[in-house]
Structure 1
């Protein structure tokens, strides 16, 4: 119980910033879908897909390497890794800045080179601040971590509101506010959805202020032999992360290319991409849980070996991770009927709602993979992670290429689910061979199966029951809660007691 409380407390602390931050960012879906049509947001969906991949190249596994090596000499490895990241991030950003215009022409967005300039600086800031954030996590300075994250996100949200809900309507004459005339001139229609990138850049730049103490502690340091040891450990992590991110993003990169013309009547492939990309954001609820868990669990299980971070405790934590994520899957899936109207302001986006339960389940299995991946990081067999994620990527590619022409963006969702299940399965098999852990896999799989049955039952009940839709849908959540109370708690003393 103590280990559950400890890790749960840290997860909730990190989760507070993650959930609050991502929730505020999630509200931007409301703003963006109100301000722009799906085709106008296509450039953002596509470019942020590439940014997610570029972020991994910019840090090339050094964040995980820092957790693994810093327990031996924290200051030495902080200085060395920071030096490497600053130099390489500068080189990558200079390349993108110089070749921004031709790259955007190749991507099909001529005259939008300024977007890539902004994104290049965003990537550099993300990479350079990654290690200071990792240092805060390792030193358990949660308050500073949370403050920096939340303030940056608040700035991003505020600027989005300023650009898109004030300046844009003022420039277009939709609202009339007495004030300085130059405000109407600040908004340039040719930039349009590019203001989303600009807001992101300004918000990211604020991180330097909040992490100033970490940067003041930095000193240039270089040692080729030490860096080589870091690189040998980190590069498989980079390839693993790249394959995993391609797995997450390739559907958006392939959908526009492989979707037949006229597949969705009256809509272009850009419309379909915009619908899929924004409905995809509703799966953020599962991503929040996974990200918060990773923030706390990674430094915990990769740190010095103790009785607390034993294999038995890893199995226990994984079991409760599955339970929490199953509740999220059922809860969100059964409440999409009102969530969609709250966050997706135009009815055109609602056509893609069927992908959301599938994507939530896919993320659940991806989270299971992340919890199990501790074994190859602890044993320095990080190349196994690369192999597993490359296999997952192959499943995604084959699924998308073969089935997008027949099933549209539903093929993207199911390919992601198949890939996540394969990766979780392979990671389990490999872990049991090289670092056996007593996972409660039968109980975990039953929770997931029960969740699926309840979601299906709730949807069927809505069509035949005279009760309000909210009651019909959330009956599934109550059933799952009832099973949890019976299965995981002892009631012999009259009070609930958690069964270990």
Structure 2
């Protein structure tokens, strides 16, 4: 259990910083949803959907490629790092040139002809985040979790502070005209654009904090290593792109496929985007786990007990994910206050989205088979099939069921990815996962959630008491099962 505890501690460091930082960021959701209408917030949801796609394209899979090649003796850690960093830097400078050139046309195409600054700000955020991904990967690989976490938290603190300043205080100061200096840089017409501006300034600060890692460019570009890294990493772009289709495409399609006028479609998009935020605890844990687990999986692969450890990791991962599912769904009457009243009509999709993210996390665990066996092309094929299924279901269901159809498409897409990845993994890199126990924990979580829905109408206890009792029941059952498992060896 020692190695699992080490992985858990690394996940905790990434997780606590992410939870703390994201929680601060999460507090912006009430700010946005109380100060902006659902239609205005739909703009933010739409741009973040686009951001997901471009984030994958601008990193080119070299984050994972760096992990794969840094441990090879014939390459060297510094060479792999500088080669990846130089490539990502050049790609992103080229992307910036294209955006500056096409910005007027692109802003008009997206129906924001009066706000070309939206596109430019968001593009700069994407570029700095993409370049920063390689230095962050190096920090993860070198177990510098505290520095990684510190930079992330500072970035989010700056974002939160500037968001409060631009959205809450500047309009009041501008209206009162008590500080004429405000009139020099604040323009109410920019509106939700200040969300992007706050993020951009925070990204600039993050970039400067990573300066010691960016100096790694001096190690140069290895033209012999680069083709090998590119061949390994390019399928990761397809995998990442397909993953973003599963995660983000619905917010692009909702605007186009909902059977209402553009204003109502944007309102529905805003409601769905805000309710999606309520599944953020699951997303945070998966992200923290991935930060810790990806370098761990590569580094531990040569150990004799690697497959045994990977199986145990998945089991404990699912236990914790089901706990998060129950925490949010059982206490949804408390979590709902994080969004404005106008947005609460979409709360029914939250359990579906939480389950979808649970299966995404299972897929993250299972995906080691193609990363460790260099079969990234097959992994890309799995992701493309799942993306095609998600697209089909969204196109079919959005006009009929609205954003609820999108939520179900999420769940089916991720569950399908996890199932197919498991089957292929058993062929190419067989790990004896405790499938029955994993499914039992998921079934237990669903059973407790459904029981809560029935019992709430029958037992009129004070708010939260029944939910707390059911959550403790789950923990006790899980602890009992795991105690027996440990005794059994």
Distance 2:169 2:488 in 1: 54
Alignment match, 2:289:
293
Distance 1:482 1:147 in 2: 34
Alpha-carbon distance, 1:213 to partner: 1.3
C-alpha change, 1:421 and 1:304, in structure 2 (3 Å) is closer
Q: Give deviations 1:374-422, integer Å, cap 9, x for gaps.
A: 1100000011221111111112111111111111110010010000110
Deviation larger for 388-397 or 238-247: 388-397
Distance 2:415 2:424 in 1: 14
Q: Give deviations 1:210-230, integer Å, cap 9, x for gaps.
A: 212112232162343321111
Alignment match, 2:234:
235
User: Any gaps of 5 or more consecutive residues in structure 1?
Assistant: 492-496
Counterpart of 1:276 in 2: which secondary structure? helix
Alignment match, 1:488:
482
Does residue 306 of structure 2 align to residue 284 of structure 1?
Answer: no
Task: Please point out which of 267, 270, 275 is paired with 1:271.
Answer: 267
Task: Please point out which of 444, 447, 462 is paired with 1:453.
Answer: 447
Alignment match, 1:211:
210
Task: Please point out which of 77, 86, 89 is paired with 2:89.
Answer: 86
Q: Give deviations 1:249-285, integer Å, cap 9, x for gaps.
A: 111111121111279xxx7111100000111011111
Distance 2:487 2:353 in 1: 31
Kept after mapping to 2: 8 A contact 1:400/1:412: yes
Alignment match, 2:246:
247
Distance 1:305 1:446 in 2: 28
Counterpart of 1:180 in 2: which secondary structure? coil
Distance 1:485 1:217 in 2: 46
Task: Please point out which of 130, 133, 145 is paired with 1:130.
Answer: 133
> How is 1:59-138 mapped onto 2 (pairs within 5 angstroms)?
59-72=59-72, 73-138=76-141
Deviation larger for 218-227 or 9-18: 218-227
Alpha-carbon distance, 1:457 to partner: 0.9
Task: Please point out which of 377, 397, 411 is paired with 2:371.
Answer: 377
> How is 1:54-453 mapped onto 2 (pairs within 5 angstroms)?
54-72=54-72, 73-173=76-176, 180-184=179-183, 186-219=185-218, 221-261=220-260, 268-303=264-299, 305-307=301-303, 310-341=306-337, 343-344=338-339, 346-453=340-447
Q: Give deviations 1:443-492, integer Å, cap 9, x for gaps.
A: 0001101111111111111111121231123332122112112211259x
Distance 1:208 1:48 in 2: 20
Distance 1:64 1:402 in 2: 34
Alpha-carbon distance, 1:172 to partner: 4.1
Distance 1:94 1:28 in 2: 32
> How is 1:39-54 mapped onto 2 (pairs within 5 angstroms)?
39-54=39-54
C-alpha change, 1:262 and 1:48, in structure 2 (3 Å) is closer
Distance 2:200 2:7 in 1: 33
User: Any gaps of 5 or more consecutive residues in structure 2?
Assistant: none
Alpha-carbon distance, 1:338 to partner: 1.2
C-alpha change, 1:183 and 1:312, in structure 2 (3 Å) is same
Kept after mapping to 2: 8 A contact 1:404/1:412: yes
Counterpart of 1:354 in 2: which secondary structure? helix
Counterpart of 1:389 in 2: which secondary structure? helix
Kept after mapping to 1: 8 A contact 2:282/2:357: yes
Deviation larger for 58-67 or 76-85: 76-85
Alpha-carbon distance, 1:143 to partner: 2.0
Deviation larger for 100-109 or 432-441: 100-109
Distance 2:253 2:216 in 1: 44
Structure holding more helix per residue = 2
Distance 1:172 1:17 in 2: 37
Alignment match, 1:469:
463
Distance 2:394 2:301 in 1: 42
Give the structure-1-normalised TM-score: 0.94
Kept after mapping to 2: 8 A contact 1:302/1:378: yes
Distance 1:184 1:498 in 2: 69
Give the structure-2-normalised TM-score: 0.96
C-alpha change, 1:123 and 1:438, in structure 2 (3 Å) is same
Q: Give deviations 1:312-346, integer Å, cap 9, x for gaps.
A: 100000000000000000111111111111x11x2
Regions of 4+ moved over 6 Å: none
Alpha-carbon distance, 1:180 to partner: 2.9
C-alpha change, 1:314 and 1:102, in structure 2 (3 Å) is same
Distance 1:90 1:308 in 2: 44
